[in-house]
Amino acid sequence: MPRMTFERLEATYRLPLFDLLGQARRVHDAHWPRREVQLCTLLSIKTGGCSEDCAYCAQSAHHATPVSPEPLLEKDAVMRVARAARETGSTRFCMGAAWKGVREGEKRFEQVLDIVRAVSSLGLEVCVTLGQLSLVAARRLREAGVTAYNHNIDTSPEFYSNIVTTHTFEDRLQTIQAVQDAGMSVCCGGIIGMGESLADRLRMLEVITGFDPAPESLPINSLVPIPGTPLEHLPRIDVFEIVRLVATSRIALPGTKIRLSAGRECMSREAQALCFFAGANSIFFGEKLLTTGNAEAEQDLALLRELGLEPQAPFADVEEPLPHACRKEAPATA
């Protein structure tokens, strides 16, 4: 049973904007530190050449996009990016691979486990998105130190086959179930602006509100149109549609982190401020998403300061501490 039915989601979404924002803010303040925004760094550890035909994706081998296939990154290269991410204030490190899925026993899976074990020693939340997963593979990722697995349903079950034909919506749900059965947190959201209706967006949310347990985080992406994909010419979506979806999601999923994800580069500061007010409390931070650009880090920090918001503080429990220059000073001894 979804926590919120489609009808309730729609009634909420259609409230007068300030009523919707007020309600979302009250829910947010009751569940979250009011001023905190999590910064997450994203790294594509295996780029391009993907067998799947997701119509939005720069990394699908089915579309002639500007992205060229690259091999899986070496652990040391990933660690350099992860350490830099931590030093610039990220508390979550998300690694993406352009694969249909991974299986236990595969060499590349063992390599990813090795990378995860190393990154998890840095005291960051570790999120991976590797496509389809069996229960056994999910358990091994959890043992290696993954805190959350990102697997988006992307849109409604009804609209899904307009966007992807090489796997099904049901396949996505099965992976999410495996992740939950393995005891890992789920990060699951979608994309808006792919030509879907409002009903599709709310159906997507209805499906996600039915997860048990609720997802740990919900990334809301707006389409970044990629040259060479079937969606390259779609128009940008209206900012109030993003704000309304963030607010409705906050009300429907009070304890879920809402991550303002792809497409933020094109949002004004004012639009982002409304999203934070409406309950968004996590962003991708740094110059790049997976293959496309992101908002400037300096500008993001300036915006947070301007709004009186603060990046989530680093976690204390760390095997490999920050280099001396970045550590807090010890209290003066008498």
Query: Active-site positions?
Result: 50, 54, 57, 94, 127, 187, 259
DSSP 8-state class, residue 317: -
Mapping DSSP to helix (H, G, I), strand (E, B) and coil, where does residue 260 land? strand
If 0-12 CB within 10 Å is exposed, 13-18 middle and 19+ buried, where does residue 288 land? middle
Question: E-assigned strands of 19-137?
Answer: 36-46, 92-97, 125-129
Q: Which does 204 bind (CB under 5 to 8 A by kind): ligand SAM, ligand DTB, ligand SF4, none?
A: none
Least Cβ distance, residue 79 to ligand SF4 (angstroms): 23
| From candidates 48, 89, 96, 123, binder to ligand SAM by CB under 6 A | 96
Mapping DSSP to helix (H, G, I), strand (E, B) and coil, where does residue 297 land? helix
Q: Is the dihedral of CA 16, 18, 24, 26 positive or negative?
A: negative
Least Cβ distance, residue 218 to ligand DTB (angstroms): 9
In whole angstroms, what is the distance from residue 21 CA to residue 15 CA?
Answer: 9
In whole angstroms, what is the distance from residue 12 CA to residue 252 CA?
Answer: 9
In whole angstroms, what is the distance from residue 101 CA to residue 133 CA?
Answer: 6
**Smaller CB separation from ligand DTB, 202 or 220:** 220
The answer to the question of residue 274 lying near ligand DTB (CB under 6 A) is no
Least Cβ distance, residue 97 to ligand SAM (angstroms): 6
| From candidates 151, 203, 257, 264, binder to ligand SAM by CB under 6 A | 151
Q: How do the residues of the chain divide into helix, strand and coil, expressed in percent and rounded to 5?
A: 40, 15, 45
**Positions in 39-68 near ligand SAM (CB under 6 A):** 56-57
The answer to the question of residue 186 lying near ligand DTB (CB under 6 A) is no
Q: Which does 206 bind (CB under 5 to 8 A by kind): ligand DTB, ligand SF4, ligand SAM, none?
A: none
264, 272 contact by CB (below 8 A): yes
The answer to the question of residue 150 lying near ligand DTB (CB under 6 A) is yes
**Positions in 188-207 near ligand DTB (CB under 6 A):** 189
Q: Which stretch binds ligand SAM (CB under 6 A): 63-71, 115-123, 207-215, 217-225?
A: 217-225
> Which residues contact ligand SF4 by CB under 6 A?
50, 52, 54, 57, 59-60, 98, 100, 131
**Smaller CB separation from ligand DTB, 274 or 289:** 289
In whole angstroms, what is the distance from residue 12 CA to residue 205 CA?
Answer: 12
**Smaller CB separation from ligand SF4, 38 or 44:** 44
User: CA 297, 85, 264 angle in degrees (round to 5)?
Assistant: 35
Residues that bind ligand SAM (CB under 6 A): 56-57, 96, 98-99, 129, 131, 151-152, 154, 191, 221, 223-224, 226, 262, 290
